Structure 1
Amino acid sequence: MLTLLAAAALLSGCGKQRDDPAPPRVEAQAGQLPAESSTIVVPVSADLAALERGLNQETPRVLWTIDQHRDRCVAAKKIDLGIGKVKVLPDLGCRLVGQVTRGAIRLSGKGERLDLVMPVSAAITAQNVGGVLSKTATGSAVVRATGRLGIVGDWQPTAKLDIAYDWREEPGVDVAGQRVTFTSRADAKLKGIVRKLERDLPRQLAKLHLRDQIAQLWPQGFTSIELSKRNPPAWLRVTPRALGFGGYRVEGRTLRLTLAAEALTETFVGQRPPDPPVTPLPAPTRVGDRAGLRFSVPVLANYATLEPVVERTLRKLAARRISVTGVGPVDVAFGKVTVYATQGGRLAVGVRAKVTPRAVGSASTSGEAWLTAVPYNDPGSQLVRARDVQLVAHTDSAALDLLIRLLGEAQVQRAVALALQHDFRGDYAEVLGKAQRAIGARQQGDFFLSTDVTSVENGRLQVTGAGLFLPVRAQGTAEIAYRPR
């Protein structure tokens, strides 16, 4: 008797192994998220009023003075008597005394145009003309310049001014019926003033201490920023690689010099990655035209969220009554559903149930049987569906055969496939919201990082050990401004 019991127990154990067709569980991690190349805008602002004050302080009010004798202020006058010209008025000498002054230098502009305007006034007296007369000449001119700014060398600003001026009123007097002008002398002096303005404007821009600001900013860019704390934890690591001058714009009374930092942006799932090593501040270089922030955001739906959905769907199906081929109508009480990742990018779905045929005298069958399915999403879609629902295996156990036949029914498999649908839009919005809040407005030392996610697109679904993983690629803008605390 003991021998028979032992044999029965052994056979029972062997049968249990055959009747436990649970697919192998895999703990695959998410694939590597792609590294992106991003461009982060770094504006440096200057108040035009401050630049104006600097130029006005550097440029003297009296541009030049004159005090000299001229032997020929008025040329000799001759008359034609028909037989020749006779000089009736000799060359008249004089002493020229006066000065040329400027008004306030004004800066303005719009977009990439920086305009400089400087009014000029002249007052020159021709004294003792011919030893008798004295007359004062006045004149006014406007110096106009259009600026072109740049960055060269060791982050030093440069300026190229296209300058023109015109005399609204040329300085001159009428003496003995002749017009005496002093424009040519004033022109020679104005050219020197123009060259001085072209030298002074970069010096004023240099007072922004652009290189000092950049030298403080550069090492703070080598960092990792937390995108989400859980489900899954994710980090954005930023590695600056190049820095270039992106131009300037005049906005109202503000001059904005724009730098563009090109950086490698990588997303890591799990623990915080080590910060990248800081490299020395590079010389200004040309940065690519692909402006904008680019990074990946992982969106994860764990399997615990799918299990109750499958349970509810199957119970609703049971309430409408199910018929099993070769058995007829059955009553089914569905129990716990288990979902996890298995081999081949598939989901394993274990279903516990009690099946009772309605035929008189039929016995109930209880147990757990398994299906697998392939979850997928269409390109750009956040809706996950399931296809290719399959039974894992048949069994030689009569006790479980009815349950397996139940799960083989098309209506049950359709219900399971439908229940495995998952719309990532809610997860999508939540994770992107967390990422936006994490990096949207962030004080880093004396610098303030602000970002705005403007568009997102998702990739192909991945089946991982932790859950259904949907990689999302986000694009937007990023700006770092100097804001001392």
Structure 2
Amino acid sequence: MPIKAVWEGQGIRTIGTRASGVRASRAGTSVLIAVLLASGCSHKVHSPAPPRITSEPHFPLGTSSIVVPISGSLDDLARALERQTPKRLWGIDKQLDACVAAKRVDLGIAHVRVLPKLGCRIVGEVTRGHLKLGGSGNRLTIDIPVHATIAAQKVGGVVSKTATGDAIVHAVAQLSITGNWSPSAKVRIAYDWTTPPGIDFLGQRIEFASKADARLKPVIAGLERSLPRELNKLDLRAKLASAWRQGFTSIMLNRERPPAWMRVTPKRLGFGGYTVDRRTLVLTLSADALTETFVGARPADPAATPLPPPAASVGKQGLNFFIPVLADYAQLEPVVHRVLVKRAKKGITLAGIGPVDVAFGKVTIYATSGGRLAIGVQAKAKARNTSLLATKGEVWLTAVPYNVPNSQLIRARDVAITTDTDSETVNLLVSLFKDTSVRDTIAEGLAHDFAPDYQKVLRSARKAIGARREGDFLLSADVTRVENGTLAVTGKGLFLPVRAAGQATITYAPLRR
């Protein structure tokens, strides 16, 4: 039977029959010497690689409240109210039995009536001037100048007198929204006669303000009907339904390295009230939405839901979302290789072995379990003191990358070798990578400063959401606060989660067609 040599750690075992005798023993010795010489020149090491994980980066949901102002011109509203409110508010034509009350004179012993009460006919009209709309904050004011021309005809059947008067009618409107997004108005009326209409007759003042006051109330009350009607011409519900539907979308935050998207899912629409800003009436709404971050291809838009009724209150205003900053493992591999080559040039001396000549080859890095990185390094090593200790192969290590919150500098710790064997030849590489200086060099190569990528991604995100059109609506956002969390080891690379916060506004700005 022929003799077979089988490598077992540091030795050779022979397989044969007793009939082989001394011849087998001599042959085995020859094979042993040949194998040792061969292995001493260049033994190749194969060590199992750590498991590779392919997990995707995960970012928590953000909740944002985006301001949605719907504006209209006060001048346009004033013109509309002018058209609906007649210039002649009402006319007066009424017979009074007592325009002038009876007059009595005290003679000391009795009161004697010297002038009987006098009847008359009251005719005239009340007209208005131009409406003036104004206000500030949540108060919309409507000022109406009123002019009255009233005549008392044939007082006592003899004399006629004409009187004029002027008043400023003040209407303060509190505007609101009903459950189906229709405008409503509650108008408080306040007015005063700057010059009450009246005549002087026979030493008495005859005033007609009370007669006019009774007719002013229904005129001003009509504003409670006309104001919402005119505001409704802004077509608020249709605009909001369109904005709501278009809000279910995905916005590109970064085009590449990594491609990142913010998916927006509106949840409710809150009514923030009306405000008057100079000559503009602004309805302020707030859309509460979920914001999700995705890396890679554009995510599918969320399914749109019907426009909900106005919420009783709005959330805290602010845009919140996450931006991923990526360090691809391919970026780290050449860096680790360079620092290892530099370290080899300085010379490496191993305890118990002495000086070692090392040539570092390809470096492979990927994510493995436990939040660690797997680092595979191909190397050739040869001890200078003996030609029997020379080997080449790939040795695997693992390390934990980390950073502190709000720092973009990534470091590595706990660099550990995973290869282990009893083979003295293999142990040359094991000893090499167990050397503290070599492991420190690998940790140095794994250090990475995210700051340049961090700034680039922020600029891209700010540009993406700074002015974005969706149909007839413009999204404008201003990122005012940025902070980054701790590093995540994922199958795609090292991810630094960056949380951005700011203010966002969706403005109705239809394109001219």
> If the length of structure 2 is used for normalisation, what is the TM-score?
0.86
- The alpha-carbon distance between structure 1 residues 161 and 2, as it changes in their structure 2 partners (threshold 3 A), is farther
Q: Is the 8 A contact 1:67 1:97 kept in 2?
A: yes
Question: 1:330, CA displacement in angstroms?
Answer: 4.6
Provide the secondary structure at the position in 2 that maps to 1:255: strand
- Residue 369 of structure 1, aligned match among 363, 377, 395: 395
Partner of residue 179, structure 1: 205
Partner of residue 386, structure 1: 412
Partner of residue 285, structure 2: 259
Amino acid paired to 2:429: L
Partner of residue 298, structure 1: 324
Provide the secondary structure at the position in 2 that maps to 1:306: helix
Give the superposed CA RMSD: 2.8
Structure 2, gaps ≥5 residues long: 13-34
How many aligned residue pairs are there? 482
Amino acid paired to 2:115: L
Amino acid paired to 1:161: V
Deviates more, 1:361-370 or 1:157-166: 361-370
Question: 1:210, CA displacement in angstroms?
Answer: 0.7
Deviations 1:211-252 (A, max 9, x none): 121222222222233333433333322222222212222122
Provide the secondary structure at the position in 1 that maps to 2:299: coil
Provide the secondary structure at the position in 2 that maps to 1:414: helix
Q: Is the 8 A contact 2:480 2:501 kept in 1?
A: yes
Q: Is the 8 A contact 2:173 2:187 kept in 1?
A: yes
Provide the rounded CA distance (Å) in 1 between the counterparts of 2:389 and 2:221: 106
Deviates more, 1:44-53 or 1:141-150: 141-150
Q: Is the 8 A contact 1:64 1:99 kept in 2?
A: yes
Amino acid paired to 2:475: L
Provide the secondary structure at the position in 2 that maps to 1:24: coil
- The alpha-carbon distance between structure 1 residues 54 and 335, as it changes in their structure 2 partners (threshold 3 A), is same
Partner of residue 107, structure 1: 133
Provide the rounded CA distance (Å) in 1 between the counterparts of 2:257 and 2:53: 16
Question: 1:181, CA displacement in angstroms?
Answer: 0.7
Q: Is the 8 A contact 2:43 2:425 kept in 1?
A: no
Q: Is the 8 A contact 1:27 1:466 kept in 2?
A: no
Partner of residue 308, structure 1: 334
Partner of residue 245, structure 2: 219
- The alpha-carbon distance between structure 1 residues 428 and 42, as it changes in their structure 2 partners (threshold 3 A), is same
- Residue 119 of structure 2, aligned match among 93, 97, 107: 93
Q: Is the 8 A contact 1:30 1:462 kept in 2?
A: no
Q: Is the 8 A contact 2:121 2:154 kept in 1?
A: yes
Provide the rounded CA distance (Å) in 2 between the counterparts of 1:365 and 1:56: 98
Deviates more, 1:34-43 or 1:227-236: 227-236
Deviations 1:403-453 (A, max 9, x none): 332322222222222221222222222223333333332222222222232
Partner of residue 453, structure 2: 427
| Bigger Cα Rg | 2
Provide the rounded CA distance (Å) in 2 between the counterparts of 1:224 and 1:360: 65
- The alpha-carbon distance between structure 1 residues 180 and 353, as it changes in their structure 2 partners (threshold 3 A), is same
Provide the secondary structure at the position in 1 that maps to 2:234: coil
Q: Is the 8 A contact 1:161 1:198 kept in 2?
A: yes
Provide the rounded CA distance (Å) in 2 between the counterparts of 1:316 and 1:425: 25
Percent identity, aligned pairs only, is 55
Q: Is the 8 A contact 2:286 2:314 kept in 1?
A: no
Question: 1:302, CA displacement in angstroms?
Answer: 0.7
Provide the rounded CA distance (Å) in 2 between the counterparts of 1:309 and 1:58: 77
Question: 1:63, CA displacement in angstroms?
Answer: 1.2
Deviations 1:302-337 (A, max 9, x none): 111112222232334344444332344555443332
> If the length of structure 1 is used for normalisation, what is the TM-score?
0.90
- The alpha-carbon distance between structure 1 residues 235 and 172, as it changes in their structure 2 partners (threshold 3 A), is same
Question: 1:352, CA displacement in angstroms?
Answer: 3.3
Question: 1:388, CA displacement in angstroms?
Answer: 1.0
Provide the rounded CA distance (Å) in 2 between the counterparts of 1:208 and 1:218: 17
Provide the secondary structure at the position in 2 that maps to 1:315: helix
Provide the rounded CA distance (Å) in 1 between the counterparts of 2:335 and 2:301: 41
Matched, 1:60 2:86: yes
- The alpha-carbon distance between structure 1 residues 261 and 17, as it changes in their structure 2 partners (threshold 3 A), is farther
Provide the rounded CA distance (Å) in 1 between the counterparts of 2:295 and 2:313: 29
Provide the rounded CA distance (Å) in 1 between the counterparts of 2:137 and 2:2: 98
